[in-house]
Amino acid sequence: MNDSFVLPESIESLTLADRLVAHRGYASRYPENSLLAVERALYHGARFIEVDIQLTADAQPVLYHDRDMKRLSGAENAVHLLTYDELNRYSLHNPVVFGDRFADEPIAHLQQLINLMLMHPRVTFFIEYKRVALENSGLEQTLKATLPLLELVRHQAVLISYSEGMVKAAAEQGWRTGMVMDHFPEQNWYSQFPVPPEFLFLDYNDIGARIIQEEKQHWPGISLALFEVTDAVDAQSWLLQGADLVETFAIGAARKAMLSIAQT
């Protein structure tokens, strides 16, 4: 079998440190959603990486999180208002956090991410479709602009969103999917989907006093990913309590700390 088509390992076969998800790449040290942040996450051993995508005014998919460009690019503008050529005049450097250190870091096109994914066939990428893209470009246009590109890495890509419509549409076309929610769901939450999502993403603060293992019995075949856990000890605790994956902005430091904990 060609290495480019090797399936990633199952979550159950991985160590706890390997079940950390690099949230927007190695975002605590590099501009989030930049190719640099993704590359550094890979360098530090990430087996799962989450990124966000939006569409430009001319329907080009790019990696970007915020609805406007103030925080991440220091600009009074928005991705969906600019063509891809116009967007190239801006950088993705998160000046509030990094100052001018990454002033030349470009905003990445989805195709550039895919090229990187092809070099790491055992790494799973969660591609989050931002609601701003769906609101401004529509579901059909957003999927049309992204799915043909992602076809080369279909086995690595899990398409996730807060939008139930997006998740349903992607699943109906045979894609791996994940639902992101703001609140802990009802036990039968997945029954509304013709094809249940493979993953559920929740803020760990929403778990409360619930016992994860007991709750998951009502979600057969659905893996639980928690965000955004900042402490490695807490991340390990959540995984031991039944979470399948834990997102972190500090993938390198968190992996190192968890590997150290495992050796003690």
How many domains, in total, are found in the chain? 1
Count of alpha carbons within 13 Å of 31, Cβ hemisphere only?
28
Is residue 264 very low, low, confident or very high in pLDDT (cuts 50, 70, 90)? low
pLDDT score of 209? 79
Helix axis angle, 110-118 to 35-43, nearest 10°? 20
- Is 36 a member of any domain? yes
Distance CA 247, CA 234 (A): 11
Distance CA 236, CA 238 (A): 5
CA dihedral 64, 65, 70, 72 (to 10 degrees): -70
The residue segments making up the domain with residue 40 are 3-67+108-263
Average pLDDT for 4-8? 50
pLDDT score of 241? 92
Q: What is the mean pLDDT of the chain?
A: 93
Is residue 261 very low, low, confident or very high in pLDDT (cuts 50, 70, 90)? confident
- Is 86 a member of any domain? no
- Is 81 a member of any domain? no
Pull the structure tokens for residue 117.
């994914």
CB burial of 45-59 (b: ≥16 within 10 Å; e: otherwise) equals bbbbbbbbbbbbbeb
- Is 54 a member of any domain? yes
Residues 116, 138, 93, CA angle at the centre, nearest 5°?
40
Distance CA 75, CA 69 (A): 5
Is residue 4 very low, low, confident or very high in pLDDT (cuts 50, 70, 90)? very low
In this structure, what CATH number is given to the domain that contains residue 177? Answer: 3.20.20.190
For the cut 60, the answer to whether the pLDDT of residue 3 exceeds it is no
- Is 96 a member of any domain? no
Is residue 260 very low, low, confident or very high in pLDDT (cuts 50, 70, 90)? confident
- Is 99 a member of any domain? no
- Is 161 a member of any domain? yes
Distance CA 108, CA 62 (A): 6
Average pLDDT for 6-33? 89
pLDDT score of 8? 57
For the cut 70, the answer to whether the pLDDT of residue 2 exceeds it is no
Across-strand partners of 91? 106
CB 237 within 8 A of CB 217: no
For the cut 80, the answer to whether the pLDDT of residue 262 exceeds it is no
pLDDT score of 9? 66
Percent of the chain predicted with pLDDT > 70: 96
pTM reported for the whole predicted model: 0.94
- pLDDT tens by residue, 95-125: 999 999 999 999 999 999 999 999 999 999 9
CB 188 within 8 A of CB 153: no
pLDDT score of 130? 96
For residue 230, count other CB atoms closer than 10 A to its CB.
11
CA dihedral 241, 227, 118, 159 (to 10 degrees): 100
- Is 234 a member of any domain? yes
